[in-house]
Each structure stands twice: as C-alpha cells, then as structure tokens.
Amino acid sequence: AQKVTQAQTEISVVEKEDVTLDCVYETRDTTYYLFWYKQPPSGELVFLIRRNSFDEQNEISGRYSWNFQKSTSSFNFTITASQVVDSAVYFCALNRQGGAQKLVFGQGTRLTINP
C-alpha cells in the first residue's frame, strides 16, 4: 500500500522567512514518482514538480527547492524568502510508474505567509 504523510497541518510565517514543508512516504514499489502541488484559495491544483524515484538530485526552481532522500523516504519542499502569494495549501503525492496510475495524496499543509 502507498501512503503519504504531511505531519504539518498548518504553518504560519512572516514574509521573507524561509519555510520547509515536510513529506514522508511509504511504498513497496521500487519505481515511483513523487509530486508537489499547490492549491491556492481559488481552489485549482497547480503542479509544481515531479521527481523520479531513481533521481535523488535536489532541484531548485527560483525560490523553490526540493530535497529528496530515499534513505528516509522523504521529499521535503523549501520556499526561500517567502512571499504572501505563496499562501496556499500544499500537497505532496506519490504514484507508481507505468500506465495510468492514481495519485496518492498527503493531507496537505496550509501555509500562511503574513506581511
């Protein structure tokens, strides 16, 4: 069975602070994908990143960075110099590779950036 755990239900920081959202996953599959999605107040899900299980290189995209550690089954997401527009619910997700595969989502972390 697959499971994604986002232990942080809510995080609140002041603008310009760095913030890390934790994600821990469980799977018996040897190949899988990990994802992060952003859900702003408007409700649509916005794709941020997909990471292949055999690629443990960290990735940086502007103020966003992701740290994938297979040894601890974690895929954490860091926002550097946070901005008010980063306020949203962030979901970590997992699916196995091959064909049409359902995404298994964590419960989400509500991030509030205060001015």
- Summarize as ranges the residues that interact with other proteins (CB under 8 A): 43-45, 47, 50, 91, 93, 99-100, 102-108
Task: Tell the smallest beta-carbon distance from residue 37 to other proteins (Å).
Answer: 8
> Going along 1-115, which residue ranges are E strands?
3-5, 10-14, 19-21, 24-26, 32-39, 46-52, 59-61, 64-69, 74-79, 88-96, 104-105, 109-114
Task: Tell the smallest beta-carbon distance from residue 11 to other proteins (Å).
Answer: 15
Taking the least distance from each CB to other proteins, the nearer of 64 and 105 is: 105
> Could you tell me which residues are beta bridge partners of residue 88?
111
DSSP structural state of residue 12 = E
Taking the least distance from each CB to other proteins, the nearer of 76 and 108 is: 108
Taking the least distance from each CB to other proteins, the nearer of 44 and 85 is: 44
